[in-house]
Structures are given as structure tokens and as C-alpha cells.
Structure 1
């Protein structure tokens, strides 16, 4: 018989905190994925099956205090992952240093092997970080093939911290930092032309940052094609795949880049604080060891997280299990269906300026908009607040595009079509002032 809450509370005065936490966890039945199985239908058909996606949504515990359309910050853990995270937290806390030194290394290696399998890379090409930002800072800051006078390149669609890191290379490596601005809603050919032109006009270009899916407006760029173009000119590429992996179907080597920063707590659904660095085998020496860490020639010396959150890494296999049970093709189709539901309606609204491609190959769950003639940062922060306070719709304002600021909308797997319809209704009302 499970202990009652009263008995647990009374026991709290007698039990050590770690044992009490373990006892509390035992009062919750384990969450099983056994009943969750994607029907044998094409992803494009399954994408609009609200009954099945309602079953997926039941795998998550998400607030209903707002219409939650800001899921680009991080991805909520599924119930099974959350329970695993709580269980591992109690286990780590109870075992303390004895667990950390004796049992944790093997458990960490198992989680690391599962991540390498998912990403399609060798285990010696991957090291965990606390997120994509830490991963990319290690790659950008550690890249040691630059010489004074060399050129490096970033775009307005890149993440703020990564742009700052590229700018920092001016003082770090004495290089020339170049930036390009993509059109607000570019075609595939316009993206390719923008990078081809930059490569042609920058004869000393040695390093380019590519963001696979822009956090500003969800644009998906053809990373593999741009990387091939760069490789032919002797240019190295660092890829920011923070919003790519878990939304798009690929193995990391498919990107044709030797250096990739990855986030596993966005679209894979690991606990917050799980990311990874990929360095293709044979290229580790081109990234400096982390500060004073001894260079052992392995990727693990290129990152130093300190004492990380053990339980977050240990719960990663449970997040991967849920991700794979749903299926990447099904996730991709569903996220596009949710995104296109509101984007298609907003295209017909004369007061709305969409920052969203009409080409699904360039689209992700993320898409942005602004009111026509209102591209200022303050305008869009006010718009984000209006959506929240007047309509109960939670989004986020994004700045940094050359064309101006915007409001980003990001559904997730637990989002229902009716939530997108409520957004459409709100956008229609914005025209009325």
C-alpha cells in the first residue's frame, strides 16, 4: 500500500530528506508510453487527426492559464521524462558523492551513447553541454585556425549571443567580422545567392556561422548546400542547430559541417540544461581545449561544464524515447500544420505583415508577424503584451532582423488547432484598434 500524504508528512520529522523525497515519488504510478503509438498513416494525414494529437498532449502537463504559443524558449518535458528526472534527482541526492563517483559515470555514458545514436554520430564526436549556447560559444571561441586579417561571417538571422561571439573574434583573433542581412522572407535561391555573393566578395573568409532554423522567425536555410559551397572555397562552417534537431529529420553529418552546436531541451524535450557539441572526427585539434583544461586530443577537453545537473543528462533517454515514439516525420508534419493554420489566415489580413515562408521546406514551427508599419522594438513588445493581456495568448517579441522587430508564435506538440484559431481571431481584432 502506498503511504498516505499524512503519513509522509508525519514521517518527514523522522526520515532524512532524501528518503522522504524517494517515498514521495513512490506515491505516483510510473508513466508508461505503452499506449502511445502513431497510427500507420502518412504524416500529412495524421497531422490533422486531433484525437491522436490529444493523446500526445496528454503526455504533457502544461498550464491552461494562457494560450501557450511561446514554445521556442525550451520544450516542456513529457510526463515520463519529468518523472524520470524526479527519480534521478532523488537518486543522485540520496547517493550523493558515492553515487556521483561510482554509479553516475556508467549511467552518463549510456545516456551519451543514446544521444550519439539519435544524432547519427560516433560517440567520440559528441560531448554534452548545458545547451546550444554553451556548445556554440565553445566552438566559436575555440576555433583556432583564424589568423590576423582573416574574415568571418554571420547573418541577421543568427542568434544574438552567437553574433556577439563572432564579433568578439575581432579582439580574440584580430579578424575582420562581416555581416549580411537576408531578405525578410527569402526564397531558397535568394538565401543561396546571399551566401554565394558574400563568399565571392570576401577573399579572406575562413569561418561562417549558419543558423539552421532562425529563432527570430523560423526560417530554415539549406545548410548542407551552403556548407558544400563553403567547403569548395576552403571555408569552415559552424552550425547553430538549436531549433533544428528534433523538428527536422536528419542525421547531424547530413549538414555537411564539421562543427555543430545542438540543443536537446528544445525540440527533443530533455530537462533544461542539456545540449551537445559535435566535432567531426579528425577536426578536434582545430578547437582549442577549454581554457586551462589539459589537451588529451579528445572532444571532451573542448568543453568544461563543471558539475552539471546529473539528473538532466540521465533523463535524456526518456525524452528520446518519447520523441521516437511520436516519430520525427509525424512531429514535423504536425508542427507545420499548426503553423500553417494561423499563417494561412494571416496572409489575407492587410494589417498583418508576415515573416513566414510559403515554402514548407523553409518553414518550421516558429513564424513571426508584426503590424504593418510597426517594425520598432517597442511596438512589438507592446504588441506581445497586448496579445497576452487582452486575449490571453502568450508569445514573445524578437528583435535583431535587419527589417525590424516582430512577434514570434511557436506552437508545440501539445498545442491544439483550436488554440491556433483563437490566435487568428485575435489577429483579426487587432485591425479594429
Structure 2
């Protein structure tokens, strides 16, 4: 592991530095993957001369449909070499069955770079159990460290498959610190990491997940009766944590979703986030924190009822 300025930087380094690609290879990513990671994957066409292929996660989403989608894409792309995989989507909150997808990829000679920006801290996470060789993590989202901290992970024995970063000579090529060179790290922020981890462990992942799942289910169950509100994230407890997204029927364009987000903020004092990039249309993300209260979610429910009726 090596400290970075966040999961975005970690993923960009892993993707850009992955050096096992040849011109006949294909790299794969889905519509739910993070924008900046998609950009880095697309850049590989110019940098490595590969073909870049994207695909959509089907809606409505089930575990079976997700596995079928990845299986189909991998079977249809025998020259695939690299797959970007997101554990917990920043767009919809969907949790993917990473271990099963990674096993599919590995059996076909495809390496996985895992985006764990949102999953670590919301979900029980053992990188060895997920069986991926490369991953990017955040420390500033669900762990509680200051903004601008994350880390990259490279499994022992795979370091040589990621290029030394920007010709770094401060560290040996056999040292993971040579894979990230950004100048002076915000060491004051980095010094807070042990305290953030202590608090995270004191609360415990089971308690965090239970709290976030309760808050998610609290508002989702109370808007489920509204016909025009479509919840994108499945109710399967293995496929969500605290984040979920919704659409209002016939209001899936950027202008519509931006207007809904603005109204929720300005009229009802509810903060949500517009998310684009999905094949089926834009959505609006709801992301409770562990300290969010039920009365605050009641305000969200009332706001969605009013927005859906207008």
C-alpha cells in the first residue's frame, strides 16, 4: 500500500501504469464506473494502442443480471486484458459481487483494477477475500480522515506490472512508494489517519453498515408507494449499503435532474447530488451519513412527495 491524495489518483496511477497491455488487447469498463477512472481507461487507447470497450449495467438490476452482463462481455471479448470494476457505485450505490466477477475475469486472463472508494467503511472488506490484485481506496469518505487522502494497493508479486511513476528515483523499483510521486504530501492530514482508523474500528464496520442500511431503507420504504419515483438500487441487502439513487419519471435529462436537486436544496434544505453517465438516464443520489437522523429523512420523504406531484 502507498498513500495517495484519494482513490481517484490511486486508480489513475494503476490504470495509466498498467504495462501488460499490447495493441491487440481490449480494456473494459461499465457505465457505473467513476468518471475519472473511465477517462483514464479511455486514455489507454492513445497511450497503449488498445481498444476501449464500455458497456451498461442493466436496469432493473439483480445479482444474476450483473453476473450475466459481465460474463457476456468477457465471453464476447476474448482479447480483453484489463477490467475496471467498482465495488460500490458512486452513481447509484449498487454493490457488485466483486469476488465472483474477479474470478470470471481471472479465468479468462483478465486483470481487475478495483475502485473501492465508497465500499471501505460502508461494507466489510477484505482485499484478499475479494481476490483482486490492484485497487484504489479513499480515507476521506467513510473512514473519516481529512479530504485529500487515500491509498493504492498492489498485491505482492504484481508490483512490476505497474510502471514506476513519472520515472521516480527516490525509491527502489521494488518499493511500492516508487509508484506514486506527487511531491510534498499534506503530512498534517496524513498524521490524522491513525485517529480516523481508531474511530472507525471503535464504531466497527457491522455497526456502520447496520446504521447506513437502516437510514437507506427508512427513506426508500417511505417513497416506494409513489409511482413516479423509481429507486435504482436493489433492495437486496447484498447489493446496497447506505447510498441509493432515484429518478422521477420522465425527468431524466441533465436540466431536469439539476432542477430537482436545486429545488430539494433550496426549498426543502435537503442535499442530494445529480449523477449522469448512466445508459438509462441521469439519476439523483441520496447519501446519508452515520449521524443523519430519521427526522432529516422525513424531510426528504416529504420533499420527494411534493416534487413527484408537481
**Which category of TM-score, normalised to the shorter sequence, fits these structures?**
over 0.9
- Structure-to-structure mapping, 1:350-365, within 5 angstroms: 350-365=227-242
Quote how far apart the aligned CAs of 1:328 are: 0.5
Where does the alignment leave 5 or more consecutive residues of structure 2 unmatched? none
SS for the counterpart of 2:309 is coil
Matched, 1:267 2:146: no
Please tell me the root mean square deviation across aligned C-alpha atoms, in Å.
0.9
**Cα deviation code 1:363-422 (max 9, x no counterpart):** 121111121011101110110001011111111111001011111100001101111111
Q: How does 1:246-265 map to 2 (within 5 A)?
A: 246-265=121-140
Between the aligned partners of 1:311 and 1:250, the Cα distance in structure 2 is 27
Structure 1 residue aligned with 2:270: 393
CA distance in 1, matches of 2:84, 2:212: 26
Using the TM superposition, name which of 349-358 and 234-243 deviates more.
349-358
Matched residue, 2:200: 323
TM-superposed CA distance for 1:138, in Å, is: 0.4
1:367 paired to 2:239: no
TM-score by length of 2: 0.98
Tell me, yes or no, if the aligned pair for 2:61 and 2:233 is still in contact at 8 Å. no
Is residue 418 of structure 1 aligned with residue 284 of structure 2?
Answer: no
Residues 86-121 of structure 1 show CA distances to partners (whole Å, capped at 9, x for unaligned) of: xxxxxxxxxxxxxxxxxxxxxxxxxxxxxxxxxxxx
> Greater relative contact order: 1 or 2 (C-alpha under 8 angstroms, separation 6 or more)?
1
Output aligned runs, 1:110-129, within 5 Å.
126-129=1-4
User: Which structure shows the higher helix fraction?
Assistant: 1
In the alignment, structure 1 residue 200 sits paired with structure 2 residue 75: yes
Counterpart for residue 281 of structure 1: 156
Match status 1:310 vs 2:176: no
**Pairing partner for 1:408 from 282, 285, 288:** 285
Indicate which of 89, 92, 97 corresponds to 1:222.
97
Cross-structure match for 1:117: none
TM-score by length of 1: 0.70
3-state SS in 2 of match to 1:291: helix
Task: Check conservation: 1:284, 1:297, Cα contact below 8 A.
Answer: yes
* Structure 1 alignment gaps of length 5 or more: 1-125
Q: 1:27-85: CA deviations, max 9, x gaps?
A: xxxxxxxxxxxxxxxxxxxxxxxxxxxxxxxxxxxxxxxxxxxxxxxxxxxxxxxxxxx
- For 2:17, the equivalent position in structure 1 comes to 142
Give, in whole Å, the separation in 2 of the partners of 1:176 and 1:364. Answer: 34
Moved more, 289-298 or 212-221: 289-298
Equivalent runs, 1:131-170 vs 2, <5 Å:
131-170=6-45
Query: Which stretch shifts more, 219-228 or 343-352?
Result: 343-352
Asked if 1:171 corresponds to 2:46, the answer is: yes
Specify the structure having the higher radius of gyration (Cα): 1
**Could you report, residue by residue, the CA deviation over 1:281-317 in whole angstroms, capped at 9, with x for unpaired residues?**
0000000000121352221101112101001111001
1:238, CA displacement in angstroms? 0.2
Looking at structure 1, the residues matched to 124 and 255 of structure 2 have their Cα atoms a distance apart, in angstroms, of 36
Equivalences for residues 11-160 of structure 1 within 5 A: 126-160=1-35
Q: In structure 2, what is the Cα distance between the partners aligned to 1:207 and 1:197?
A: 15
Q: 1:343·1:356 contact (CA, 8 Å) conserved in 2?
A: no
Cα distance, 1:231 vs. partner?
0.7
Q: For 2:148 and 2:160, how far apart are their aligned partners in 1? A: 26
Residue matched to 1:64: none
Residue aligning to 1:76: none
Offset at residue 432 of structure 1 (A): 3.0
Cα separation, 1, equivalents of 2:307 and 2:41: 38
Partners of 1:425 and 1:155 in 2: CA distance: 34
Measure the CA separation in 2 of the matches of 1:251 and 1:367: 23
